[in-house]
Amino acid sequence: MTSVETLKAMAAAAAVALVQPGMVIGLGFGSTAAHATRLIGERLASGALRDIVGVPCAEGTATLAREMGIPLTTLDEVNAVDLTIDGADEVDPQMALIKGGGGALLREKMVAQASRRVAIIVDESKLSPALGTRFYLPIEVVDFGYRATARWLEAQGGSVRLRVRTDGQPFRTDQGNLILDWACGPITDPAALAARLAARAGIVEHGLFVGLATDLFVAGASGVRHLTR
């Protein structure tokens, strides 16, 4: 049987094939996106790729990219990102996503919104008939009134947990915010829920990515499927 790590690497390799010389590349965060970052670094080192610059979506990604020798810039320095390659926690049939399992949702969404093309790389276990079925929805919130924000979310259904690190301390995003993991159940209308969450003060960003993915690479035992939107 093909291991999940092998499937992630297969999906990453298929997406990295889209990278062309001269491109600005958004580098996502997470275990799947890390395969893509490593592969891009290896291709640069071997001379198979040249003249690219990366925009990292997380401090962790920036560290890995530097280790791999990938030249980096920031969103502020580029007019647009040509191609972003990133993972996802859950993908529905319309290519709407839940992201943020690693807490990088805000920067990932900013980079995705600035990108001409967003390639999402997943193993097939991430596919779902309805978002919220197999993963909670990460919500990045400010400290002020976070319990009130959690109660507001719970009033709409499901349950909320403050994300904590293994040492028991609250998890902090790269912006220093908290994450509420909302087990909201199946989401019937991701765009409507995204709009409701975006309108709520105290919520910095949510993990629903609707209408952002342009390409989806799904790796399974029989190979990698490439879907476009």
Ligand X SMILES: O=C[C@H](O)[C@H](O)[C@H](O)COP(=O)(O)O
Q: Could you say which of 2, 20, 31, 159 contacts ligand X (CB under 6 A)?
A: 31
215 labeled binding residue? no
Q: Which span (15-23, 27-35, 46-54, 143-151) binds ligand X, by CB under 6 A?
A: 27-35
CB atoms within 10 A of CB 203: 20
Give, in degrees to the nearest 5, the angle at Cα 98 between 154 and 138.
40
76 labeled binding residue? no
Question: 117 forms bridges with which residues in the sheet?
Answer: 83
By C-beta, is 56 or 87 nearer to ligand X? 87
Tally of CA atoms within 13 A in the half-sphere of 172 that contains its CB? 7
Q: Does 87 bind ligand X (CB under 6 A)?
A: yes
**Which residues in the 93-122 window bind ligand X by CB under 6 A?**
99-105, 108
80 labeled binding residue? no
Q: DSSP for 57-106?
A: SSHHHHHHHHHTT--B--GGG-S-EEEEEE--SEE-TT--EE--TTS-HH
Q: Does 28 bind ligand X (CB under 6 A)?
A: yes
Q: Could you say which of 27, 33, 85, 118 contacts ligand X (CB under 6 A)?
A: 33
What is the DSSP-derived secondary structure letter of residue 171? P
**Shortest spacing between CB 126 and ligand X, in angstroms:** 7
Quick one: 153 exposed, middle or buried, by C-beta within 10 A (0-12, 13-18, 19+)? Answer: buried
87 labeled binding residue? yes
Rounded distance, CA 209 to CA 37, Å? 21
**Shortest spacing between CB 63 and ligand X, in angstroms:** 15
145 labeled binding residue? no
Q: Does 88 bind ligand X (CB under 6 A)?
A: yes
Nearest residue to ligand X on Cβ basis: 30
101 labeled binding residue? yes
Beta strands at 215-220 and 223-228: parallel, antiparallel or unpaired: antiparallel
Q: Does 86 bind ligand X (CB under 6 A)?
A: yes
Q: Is-contact 120 63, C-beta < 8 A?
A: no
Active site residues: 108
By C-beta, is 24 or 97 nearer to ligand X? 97
Rounded distance, CA 154 to CA 89, Å? 21
By C-beta, is 23 or 104 nearer to ligand X? 104
Annotated binding-site residue numbers for substrate: 29-32, 86-89, 99-102, 126
Annotated binding-site residue numbers: 29-32, 86-89, 99-102, 126
Binding residues for ligand X, rule: CB under 6 A, are 28-33, 86-89, 99-105, 108
